[in-house]
């Protein structure tokens, strides 16, 4: 087995600090790589053209190359064997203490892809060779300066058995290929763009392409190729269409064209995350590329489109302009997430896209911000950089870029991005470089804004309104504070943009007049102080404020609305996001009432205001079915939990479950009517209308089945049998499998497994549906499924489908009082620590979110964390566990 780490439990691994950044002592201009692919003994010969870096202060410095789990077979300097006295070899480094100023270093190493279970570096997935080098996987392939600020031109020769590995791919353009003795062949690839080694990629396997071409705005034809296993060839059209849309969009929106002659995407089954933007050769988790309406849901289609676009956008935001060091990760990730969110908003409903992103941010990212692993968008230090591919770096990072774009306005923001891409093309840069471009084109002073990058935690903003009838003024007073996070006790005030409007009691948007200036009916207030007031003039009566429209800043906003105000805003607000949010806040306040009733042993009774509001929503022809489907979602247990300092897991579950059942029962006729109206005999299509109808119809069904009414279960069974697409089939299956009466669900699950046993991605959803069953048998099901022949601890998708889904989406069962959920997760984490540290350290995160739990559960979790700590931990887990136990 590949030892994926090198740190004994007792010895703490090294912490790396942003403040210690130094440029590299050497630069590499050119790299020639030669791979002789063999499953358990691949040989890699590398020729590095090295030169002292004039920007490095010491011109006598040693050359230290990174390298891990490499067997050095040969080493030569300028064509001469290097004597052992001229270099030292340690577990993680190859050092030349006295190197010349300019030379070629040739090394030959042997690596073992077959036993590489960490899925970093070169490994085998379903018999195909593939690579993952970001962040520091290249050092598992050859000795190198494995850091993003060393940019080199790569030439890659790949040699392999032709029958087993007919397809050999790498970055750039293919320049030569040929046959060799003994049934072997080779291909040479050349990438003309200098790049950091984290963007290197290689694929070797029995893969098949779907091909197309795209012509750029300037008339350059680009070959597009998606490479998959033969049985998946019919699942590639959507990814290909998405890619073309993304290419076109980036030209139209950011003026960015693609640069190489060929763009390839390869789908692999074993992948630690979603996808990877290697130059010209993206490698994707098959779950983020394959989509067919029979086997994938509308949500999966959406995921494919947005991940394809995200990786494509990296070609500029990440590849052409890259990061100086890994602390700057959000420079490429935050910006690219922002770009992919803009793209999705342009393809679909902007309000619904925003609602879904904010939903995730407010539950998962806010929880991260409040946990022992909280860190700024640009962290100050890390032990293992892989632990920082987080919601904070990605999603909050995107919010920070979104605020910049709001502050500058779209045209100036575009000028700023043009300047950034042009000025830094081919360079490795910092967050400051990006923000400076935005400051330069706008003339804004963004120095206070920079705190968003360095301060962790979710800011809390409280707003109060005061109407003065005599003077006809309305004053909004805001206060802001950011709670302490590990290592950051004191926080400075941030620049917080609050997009807002005032609504009259008749539902009219009111003109905003401040200090004699008219701002139309919507403006962005800039909060810069701990406390700040804004006075609006000429208001005939007391208005209702609509604050933080479109979620204009990633903060928690508190304003003391009463339930009637919220019901009113839900009907009247002109901002789609805020209408939805008013509905969420209304439901939250009702749910909080139920939670306290439950805690005090009172009978639960659902506020009729919520039932009536929903009734109104359900009556009549829905104007916007997609939006209506969002309005008909109750806040999740995770989001309800976010409202409390001390979380009562059971009371929250009972309260939400009661609200859901009561709404479903009270509004059953309305749900049924709408369900019937939306059912269609049309064959599946991807149109926006059909997609919205499916979403709303299945939302109705999800409520109907919780009543356990025989009719509802029958309708679900019918839908399950008759569906011509996975969205409908899966929605029906979930309804049945989550119903209290387990029998129809069991039958459907068996049938589904028979139907889809051949398709691993569909089986992933089959696993997830079962482990998220909201009944007490869930944990036993997880245990049974871990033994299922289709489950594998070697496949990250399966681990996420079973263990990730259980811990993340079946809250009250995971947090069982007896601690069995925690123990189960800890066991899996300890097993993965030995094989796949990256996945282990992701999977353990739910065990680090215990701050707000009751003492009993906290104790149970700590027991498990301490049990894990007894193991010989990878740096990945060491970092997370030690932070959790200190927090
Ligand atoms: N840049 C990659 C993520 C790499 C993760 C390394 N642990 C995918 C992306 O964000 O586009
Ligand atoms: Zn990315």
Nearest atom of ligand 1 to the alpha carbon of 134: 6
Indicate if the pLDDT at residue 3 is higher than 60.
Answer: no
Check if 311 is active-site: yes
Neighbours of ion ligand 2 (CB under 5 A): 333, 336
Q: Which residues are registered as beta bridge partners of 28?
A: 50
State yes or no: pLDDT of 373 exceeds 50. yes
Q: Residue 12: its pLDDT value, please? A: 79
Ligand 1 atom with the smallest distance to the CA of 272 is: 7
Q: For residue 136, give the ligand nearest its CA.
A: 1
Determine the residue of 146, 276, 304 to mutate for testing ligand 1's pocket, defined as the one with the most ligand atoms within 8 A of the Cβ atom.
276
Q: How many A from CA of 132 to the centre of ligand 1?
A: 9
Q: Ligand 1 centroid to 254 CA: how many Å?
A: 22
Q: What superfamily does domain 321-454 belong to in CATH?
A: Neutral Protease Domain 2 (1.10.390.10)
Residue nearest to atom 4 of ligand 1 (CA): 134
Whether the predicted pLDDT of 495 surpasses 90: yes
Ligand 1 centre and the CA of 585: distance in Å? 34
Note the pLDDT of residue 387: 98
Q: What CATH number does the domain located at 460-560 have? A: 2.60.40.1840
Per-residue confidence (pLDDT) for residue 435, from 0 to 100: 99
Asked if pLDDT for residue 2 goes beyond 60, the answer is no
- Atom of ligand 1 lying closest to residue 307 CA: 11
Contact 770, 737 (CB under 8 A): yes
Of these residues, 134, 311, 630, 642, which one is catalytic?
A: 311
- pTM, 2 dp: 0.98
Contact 579, 634 (CB under 8 A): no
Query: Mind listing the pLDDT tens digit for each residue in 376-422?
Result: 999 999 999 999 999 999 999 999 999 999 999 999 999 999 999 99
pLDDT per residue as tens digits for the range 798-822 = 999 999 999 999 999 999 999 999 9
Confidence of residue 603 (pLDDT cuts 50, 70, 90): very high
Q: Which of 218, 207, 304, 299 is nearest to 259 (CA)?
A: 218
**536 pLDDT more than 90:** yes
Domain ranges of the chain: 16-313, 321-454, 460-560
Q: What's the gap in Å between 333 CA and the centre of ligand 2?
A: 5
Ligand 1 pocket by Cβ (under 6 Å): 134-135, 273, 275-277, 310-311, 314, 333, 386, 389
Give the ligand at the shortest distance from the Cα of 308. 1
| Atom 8 of ligand 1, nearest CA residue | 276
- Residue 587 half-sphere exposure toward CB, CA atoms < 13 A: 28
Take atom 1 of ligand 1 and give the residue whose Cα is closest. 276
pLDDT at position 11 is: 61
Confidence of residue 620 (pLDDT cuts 50, 70, 90): confident
CA-atom Rg of the chain in angstroms: 28
In this structure, which ligand is nearest to the CA of 339? 2
Ligand 1: residue of 133, 134, 876 to mutate (most ligand atoms within 8 A of CB) is: 134
Q: From the centroid of its chain, how far is CA 45?
A: 35
Q: Mind listing the pLDDT tens digit for each residue in 644-697?
A: 999 999 999 999 999 999 999 999 999 999 999 999 999 999 999 999 999 999
Per-residue model confidence (pLDDT) at position 887 = 81
Number of the ligand 1 atom closest to the C-alpha atom of 838: 7
Percent of the chain at pLDDT exceeding 70: 99
pLDDT at 1: 38
What is the distance between the terminal CA atoms of the chain, rounded to a whole angstrom? 33
Residues 455-491 pLDDT 10s: 999 999 999 999 999 999 999 999 999 999 999 999 9
16-313 against 460-560: fold identical: yes
* Model confidence pLDDT, tens digit, residues 858-877: 999 999 999 999 999 999 99
Q: Which of 738, 666, 658, 662 is nearest to 698 (CA)?
A: 738
Closest of 69, 67, 22, 26 to residue 48, by C-alpha: 26
Residue closest by Cα to atom 2 of ligand 1: 276
Fold of 16-313: Immunoglobulin-like (2.60.40)
Q: Whose CA is nearest to atom 9 of ligand 1?
A: 276
Ligand 2 centroid to Cα of residue 314, in Å, is 7
DSSP code per residue over 388-445: G-SHIIIIIHHHHHHHHHHHH-HHHHHHHHHHHHHHHTT-EE-HHHHHHHHHHHH---
Ligand 1 atom showing the smallest separation from residue 314 Cα: 11
Q: What is the pLDDT averaged over residues 35-49?
A: 99
- Identify the nearest ligand to the CA of 837 by its number: 1
pLDDT score at 7: 43
Q: Are 358 and 633 in contact (CB under 8 A)?
A: no
More confident residue, 4 or 366: 366
Which atom of ligand 1 is the closest one to the Cα of 135? 6
């Amino acid at each position: 087995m590949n030892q994926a780490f090198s740190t004994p439990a007792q010895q703490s691994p090294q912490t790396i600090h942003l403040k210690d950044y130094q440029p590299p002592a050497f630069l590499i201009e050119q790299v020639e790589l030669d791979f002789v692919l063999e499953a358990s003994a691949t040989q890699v010969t590398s020729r590095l053209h090295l030169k002292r870096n004039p920007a490095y202060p010491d011109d006598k410095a040693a050359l230290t190359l990174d390298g891990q789990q490499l067997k050095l077979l040969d080493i030569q300097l300028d064509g001469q064997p290097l004597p052992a006295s001229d270099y030292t070899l340690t577990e993680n480094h190859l050092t030349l203490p006295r190197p010349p100023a300019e030379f070629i270093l040739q090394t030959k190493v042997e690596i073992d892809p077959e036993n590489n279970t960490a899925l970093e570096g070169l490994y085998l997935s379903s018999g195909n060779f593939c690579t993952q080098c970001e962040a520091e996987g290249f050092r598992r392939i050859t000795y190198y300066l494995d850091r993003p600020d060393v940019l080199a031109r790569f030439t890659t020769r790949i040699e392999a058995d032709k029958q087993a590995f007919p397809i050999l791919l790498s970055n750039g353009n293919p320049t030569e290929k040929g046959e060799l003795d003994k049934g072997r062949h080779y291909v040479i690839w050349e990438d003309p763009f200098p790049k950091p080694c984290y963007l290197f990629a290689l694929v070797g396997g029995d893969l098949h392409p779907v091909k197309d071409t795209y012509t750029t705005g300037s008339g350059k034809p680009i070959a597009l190729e998606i490479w998959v296993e033969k049985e998946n060839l019919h699942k590639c059209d959507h990814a290909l269409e998405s890619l073309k849309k993304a290419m076109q969009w980036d030209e139209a929106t950011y003026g960015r064209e693609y640069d190489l002659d060929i763009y390839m995407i390869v789908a692999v089954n074993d992948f630690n995350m979603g996808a990877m933007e290697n130059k010209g050769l993206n490698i994707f988790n098959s779950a983020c590329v394959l989509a067919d309406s029979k086997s994938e849901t509308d949500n999966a289609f959406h995921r494919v489109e947005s991940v394809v676009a995200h990786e494509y956008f990296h070609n500029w935001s990440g590849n052409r302009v890259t990061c100086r060091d890994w602390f700057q990760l959000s420079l490429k990730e935050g910006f690219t997430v922002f770009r992919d969110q803009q793209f999705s908003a342009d393809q679909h409903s902007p309000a619904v896209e925003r609602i879904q992103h904010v939903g995730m941010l407010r539950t998962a990212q806010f929880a991260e911000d409040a946990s022992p692993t909280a860190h700024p968008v640009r962290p100050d230090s890390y032990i293992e950089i892989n632990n920082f591919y987080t919601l904070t770096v990605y999603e909050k990072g995107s919010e920070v870029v979104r605020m910049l774009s709001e502050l500058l306005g779209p045209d100036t923001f575009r000028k700023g991005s043009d300047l950034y891409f042009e000025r830094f093309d081919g360079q490795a840069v910092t967050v400051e470089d990006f923000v400076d471009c935005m400051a330069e084109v706008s003339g804004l002073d963004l120095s206070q804004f920079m705190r968003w990058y360095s301060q962790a935690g979710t800011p809390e903003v409280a707003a109060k309104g005061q109407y003065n009838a005599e003077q006809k003024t309305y004053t909004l007073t805001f206060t802001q504070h950011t709670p302490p996070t590990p290592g950051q006790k004191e926080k400075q005030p941030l620049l917080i943009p609050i997009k807002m409007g005032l609504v009259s009691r008749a539902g009219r948007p009111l003109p905003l007049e401040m200090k004699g200036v008219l701002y139309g009916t919507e403006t962005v207030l800039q909060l810069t102080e701990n406390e700040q007031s804004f006075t609006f003039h000429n208001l005939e009566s007391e208005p209702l404020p609509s604050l933080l429209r479109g979620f204009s800043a990633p903060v928690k906003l508190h304003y003391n609305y009463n339930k009637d105000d919220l019901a009113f805003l839900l009907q009247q607000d002109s901002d789609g996001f805020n209408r939805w949010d008013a509905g969420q806040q209304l439901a939250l306040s009702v749910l909080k009432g139920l939670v306290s009733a439950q805690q005090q042993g009172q009978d639960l009774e659902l506020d009729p205001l919520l039932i009536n509001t929903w009734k109104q929503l359900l009556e009549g022809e829905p104007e916007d079915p997609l939006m209506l489907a969002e309005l008909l979602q109750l806040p999740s247990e995770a989001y309800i939990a976010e409202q409390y300092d001390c979380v009562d897991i059971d009371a929250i579950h009972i309260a939400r479950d009661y609200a859901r059942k009561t709404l479903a029962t009270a509004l059953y006729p309305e749900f049924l009517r709408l369900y019937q109206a939306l059912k269609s005999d049309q064959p599946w299509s991807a149109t926006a209308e059909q997609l919205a109808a499916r979403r709303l119809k299945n939302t109705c069904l999800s409520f109907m089945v919780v009543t356990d009414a025989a009719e509802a279960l029958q309708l679900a069974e019918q839908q399950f049998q008759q569906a011509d697409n996975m969205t409908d089939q899966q929605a029906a299956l979930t309804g049945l499998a989550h119903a209290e009466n387990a029998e129809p669900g069991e039958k459907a699950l068996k049938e589904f497994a028979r139907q889809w046993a051949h398709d691993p991605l569909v089986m992933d959803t089959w696993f997830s549906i079962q482990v998220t069953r909201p009944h007490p048998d869930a944990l036993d099901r997880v245990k049974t499924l871990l033994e299922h022949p289709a489950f594998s601890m070697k496949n990250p998708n399966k681990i996420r489908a079973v263990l990730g889904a259980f811990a993340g989406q079946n809250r009250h069962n995971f947090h069982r009082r007896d601690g069995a959920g925690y123990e189960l997760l800890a066991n899996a984490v300890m097993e993965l620590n030995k094989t796949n540290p990256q996945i282990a350290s992701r999977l353990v995160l739910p065990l680090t979110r215990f701050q707000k739990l009751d003492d009993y559960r906290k104790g149970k979790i700590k027991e498990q964390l301490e049990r894990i700590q007894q193991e010989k931990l990878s740096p990945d887990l060491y970092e997370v566990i030690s932070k959790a136990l200190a927090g």
